[in-house]
Structures are given as structure tokens and as C-alpha cells.
Amino acid sequence: MAPGAGRLAGDPRPLRPLPLLRLEREGQAGPRLAAGLVDARRGPLDGQGAALARAGARLVGPRRDRPAGRLPLRPAGEPASPPGAARREAREGDAPAPAEGVGVRGAASTAFAPSLLPEQKQDALLQTVLGEAARFVSKNPDLASPRALIDLWNLFRHRSRSLELDDFGHDEAAARRWEPVFDFLYRVWWRVEVTGISHVPNEGRALLVANHSGVLPWDGAMVKWGIATEHPAHRHARLLILDMFTTLPFLQPWLRHLGEVRACPENGERLLNRDELVGVFPEGIKGVGKYFRDRYRLARFGRGGFAKLALKTQAPIVPVTVVGAEEIYPNLARADFVGRPFGLPYFPITPFFPALGLLGTIPLPTKWYIDFGPPIPPAYSPEMAERPMVVNEVTDLVRTTMQRMIDSRLARRKNVFTGE
């Protein structure tokens, strides 16, 4: 007995609860019917399996030891089921639910959810639904194409977006969802005042050159929203953004759907040749990452890439200055070694970040002023864009004009938060 019990614990395969319990319910004594026992998946048991089954039947005990009413019994006089009956019943799934106290494996074998319809009506309902679907597809053969399945998937995956994107991934439907957020920041949070908006042409190409500040590119978003809402033509500006923002996985898709484009000469030329309104920020990383003590002092304008772009495309340059964005995140210090593993060229330390965590990323509600200067028409031919002296001359002219505009606005501003 001890060896049989040990093998019973070590090899549970021949002791499937379902066949044993079925034969128990049929009134057969376990030791006497070992030769007729079957396994629900592998068929009749061999000699070794039958021996283990006899040991299991003795452990289960004879039927007379079971409490009355625990399991349904075979009516008196009904012949015993043939050896393969238990396997067929297990396969068809019409066995009654196991009684209380049956092992977990036996309960899992027969615990099916009851249906509200008979089996015949279930089949009829399924055939009716499939038939209607087949007739609908036969009347609309385009719906059965792989392209239709892809479009259906995109419809559910991009419910808030459109399927019409331009060459740079701009999605008007996705951008429209963010308009209330930009309008709140523009009119309520920062109370932006715009002057000189008439200097932006109503149509045709133009290059907006703006200062950059505020750690995050909120200044570009407000310049773009100001043109879209307060300009007579409500033009849509395409901003050339830094590589830093295009490599961030959580920010890059959002900026792309809003219509922003990675900053490079090729993208700028393509947009301007399509007579679009393009915005650039020549300060780059030096502008958004500058210290608070250097606020409103324009950094070096790189190598004059925007000047080359304006000369090649013969686009007028519109200087744009933003005052008020330098104070939304006072950058007191930087821990650049923290940001480099995440692809960030700098990691700002402000009075509130990272001390307050995500709460410290909320920008301060300063008063903003956005000024548009008179356009600077191209004074040279496109061929002069390859001459460094000409490029430096145009770059210095624009930088001097913008610094003068910033100083003039700061002289008139009294309070950082109210402007008065």
C-alpha cells in the first residue's frame, strides 16, 4: 500500500478525478473495475495505471461511505456504463457539476457557465448572426479587403485623430483637442498681450525669429497661439524645434501632431518654399537652459542658420520677442549629469523643482508680452547665402533688433506678475 500511495503522489496522470468520480457515481466498486477504468484524455489505462487507479479507489472509499445525497446515483436496475462512457461524457461536457468536497482538478473539468438558451437555439443564433454578417460583406466587398481592416483598426486606435497627415505628421484633429489648454494658458494663466501682429504677412512665406527662454518651450506655443487667434488671417505657424524635444518619447509625438517640425535647413526650406509661416529660435539650447541671472540677454545665434535659410528662400524676417517667460521657471542651478542619461542636455534646478516633484513643474503665472517687429526684407540674392560675411551681417542685424525690442519692453514693465 505504501508504494502505491507514493506513486500516487508522484504521478498524478492516471488519477484523473473525473473518471474515478464517474465510476463511483455509477455504483462500481473501485477495486473490482480496475480493468475497465479509462483516462479522460489517453484512453484505457495500462496495467500500471490500473493498479494506481485501484489504489486511488481505495483512498476514495466505497460508495456506501459517502453521505447520502452528495452525488447523483445510477437508478436501480440500470446497466453499468461501458468502459468508454466516462471518456465520451468528459469530451461532450454534459457531466453534472461536481459535488462539494470534490478536488479542485475535478471541479475545473466540469465547471462550465450555464447558458440562457438551449444548445440548439445557441447554434441557430450563431448561424443567423454569421449569415447576416456574410450577406453584409458580400454587398460591400471593399470591407473584406486588408486595407479596410487596417482602416478599421486605425479608427478605433486613433479615435481623437484624423487619418490625414501632412508630410511632417501634422494632425489637425489631434491639435484641435489641445486648443482649450492653450487658450487657458494664453488668456488666463499668462494673460498675454500682443503688439505688432500686423507685421506678420497675411499670406506668403515669412520667417519668424524669436528669443527662447523658460526651460520648456512654452514661449513658442504662445507665439503660435497668438498668431492663430489674433492675426486677421489666423495663420498657422510651423515651428522648427530643437533636437532635444524631438528625441523625448513622451513629447515628440505630441509636438509632431501639433505641427512642429525638427529644426534642420532642409525642413525649413521645404516649408518656406510652400509659402508657409515658419518660426525659428536661434538661441537653441543656450536660450532655454540659461541661468536666471542671464535672463533677457540674448545668447549667441549659433552659425546663422536662419539667415542662410532666409536668403536661400528670399523670405522676409519678422523679429519676435517674448518677455515674461524667463520667470516661469527661475533656473538657479543645473545638474546636467542627471539629465544626460535621459537624453537631456541640461537638468534645471529651480526654487520648486525638483524639491516639490511634479508640482514644481507648474509654471509661475507671470505676465507675458509678445512683440512683433517690422519685417526685414532680404537684401541679398540667394547666392549670397554661401558667403559667411553676408550671413554674419544679417545675423547681427536681427540679433541687435531683437535685443533692442526686449530692452524697450523691460523698461516699460514694472511688475513681473501684473506688468503694472
Q: What is the pLDDT of residues 172-209, one digit of tens each?
A: 888 888 999 999 999 999 999 999 999 999 999 999 99
Domain of 142?
119-157
Residue 234 and residue 377 in one domain: yes
Please identify which residue in the block is written with the cell numbers 523658460.
214
Residue 318 and residue 274 in one domain: yes
Which pLDDT value is given to residue 25?
A: 43
Number of domains within the chain: 3
Q: Label residue 251 by pLDDT band (50, 70, 90).
A: confident
Q: Label residue 37 by pLDDT band (50, 70, 90).
A: very low
Q: What percent of the chain has pLDDT over 90?
A: 46
CA distance 13 to 16: 6
- Give the residue from 322, 338, 329 showing the smallest Cα distance to 279: 322
Judge contact between 329 and 346, C-beta under 8 A. Answer: no
Q: Before 354, cis peptide (omega within 30)?
A: yes
Which pLDDT value is given to residue 139?
A: 74
Q: What percent of the chain has pLDDT over 70?
A: 63
Residue 351 included in any domain: no
Listed ranges 36-50, 92-106, 239-253, 315-329; the one with the highest mean pLDDT? 315-329
Average pLDDT (69-77) is 47
Listed ranges 36-50, 162-176, 244-258; the one with the highest mean pLDDT? 162-176
Which pLDDT value is given to residue 343?
A: 73
Residue 253 and residue 389 in one domain: yes
List pLDDT tens digits, range 321-377: 999 999 999 999 999 888 888 777 889 999 999 999 999 999 999 999 999 999 999
Residue 106 and residue 123 in one domain: no
CA distance 398 to 8: 90
Residue 357 included in any domain: no
Residue 242 and residue 387 in one domain: yes
Residue 340 included in any domain: no
Residue 175's region, left for phi above 0, alpha for psi from -120 to 50, else beta, is alpha
* Pair type for strands 348-349 and 333-334: antiparallel
Residue 129 and residue 230 in one domain: no
Residue 221 included in any domain: yes
Tell me the three-class secondary structure of 299-368, residue by residue: CCCCCCHHHHHHHHHCCCEEEEEEECCCCCCCCCEECHHHHHHHCCCCCEECCCCCCCHHHHHCCCCCCC
